[in-house]
Amino acid sequence: MFNKLIVALMPLAPRFIVKMISKRYIAGEDTPSAMATCKQLNAQGFLTTVDILGESVTTNDQAREACDSYLDLITEVSKSNIEKNISLKPTAMGLGLSYDMAFEFIAAIVQKAHESGVFIRIDMEDSPYTDKTLEMYERLRDQYPQLGTVIQAYMHRSLDDVKKIATSSGNLRICKGIYKESPQIAYQDADEVRHNYIKLVREMLEQGAYVGIATHDPFLIDESLRLIDELNISADKYEFQALLGVPIVKRLEALISMGHRVRIYVPFGSEWYAYSSRRLKENPDVAGYVLKNLFVKN
């Protein structure tokens, strides 16, 4: 209750307080900080994907700037010895302004990534963008095999979408979904979302497609392990994924020691506020935990 109150009051809190609370979720504001975090995680046996924070730009110039930042990031990542894997949000590329412009920017990024040996995953945002995002993925995937996108288990449509994509070259991250969607198009009940999540992972694995199992939910991690075992899936056909800062490191380390691949999503950049607010709303306990540690000395 107290923690929920903290999160509700966040818009009124000074930015430095929000920053302090959300620090654990962000790898810093610039590329070197993100690279350093990835390097450390890679040394611990984790795979990584880097994401420049930012979404829903309001002008074409902002979209172009975001595209340029991604092109620079590809240069940096390809020169470094960190995992060559990047995630991006279509509305940061201007999808909310113009499909054609966003497609042009995303295609340029994917082309450069292809030349540099970098994998690109197109994140999935709220439902006005689902069709457009999947259409972009379909248009690009044949030419660029190092490309993937995301399906959200809370959406009623997702099994149909997965069935279309899950040919042997499909590459999808499956997550529960983070945006507020209406009951007309999305499951609201946590168990229904879980049930659908497992159906989607099963479909991907049965079709021989590559699946990123992106969840911190121990039930879903256990069920996915059970499926992998039941279907006798080799370890190069899937990976587990988690967000930087979510406190399940021990579980993830255990997965690695069992021979599973685990990727950490590493966001960075100056646009940390919206991202941090979403993470804190997901788990208000983190706010209380961080504040308590400020005042209570163990």
Ligand X SMILES: Cc1cc2nc3c(=O)[nH]c(=O)nc-3n(C[C@H](O)[C@H](O)[C@H](O)COP(=O)(O)OP(=O)(O)OC[C@H]3O[C@@H](n4cnc5c(N)ncnc54)[C@H](O)[C@@H]3O)c2cc1C
Q: At closest approach, how far in Å is the CB of 95 from ligand X? A: 13
- For residue 61, the minimal CB distance to ligand X (Å) is 25
User: Interface with ligand X by CB under 6 A: which residues?
Assistant: 123-124, 150, 152, 173, 175-179, 214-217, 241-243, 246-247, 265, 279, 282-283, 286
Query: Quick one: 28 or 245, whose CB is closer to ligand X?
Result: 245
List the alpha helices (DSSP H) in the chain: 2-9, 15-22, 31-43, 60-79, 99-116, 130-141, 158-165, 190-207, 218-230, 249-257, 272-282, 285-295
Q: At what angle do helices 31-43 and 60-79 cross, to 10 degrees?
A: 40
Residue 173 annotated to the active site: yes
Instruction: Answer positive or negative: Cα dihedral of 206, 239, 25, 66.
Output: negative
Q: Among residues 159 and 246, whose Cβ is nearest to ligand X?
A: 246
C-alpha 133/C-alpha 139 separation (Å) is: 10
Residue 115 CB, shortest distance to ligand X, in Å, is 25
Exposed e or buried b per residue across 155-177, where buried means at least 16 C-beta atoms within 10 angstroms of its C-beta: beebbebbeebbeeebbbbbbbb
Can you tell me whether residue 85 is helix, strand or coil? strand
Cβ-based nearer residue to ligand X, 198 or 233: 198
Largest CA distance in the chain: 56
Of the candidates 123, 194, 202, 261, the residue annotated as catalytic is 123
- Residue 13 DSSP SS3: coil
Minimal distance, residue 34 CB to ligand X, in Å: 15
Q: Given 121, 173, 194, 279, which residue is catalytic? A: 173
Q: Give the residue with the Cβ less far from ligand X, 75 or 126.
A: 126
d(CA 175, CA 272): 21
Q: What amino acid positions are annotated as catalytic residues?
A: 123, 173
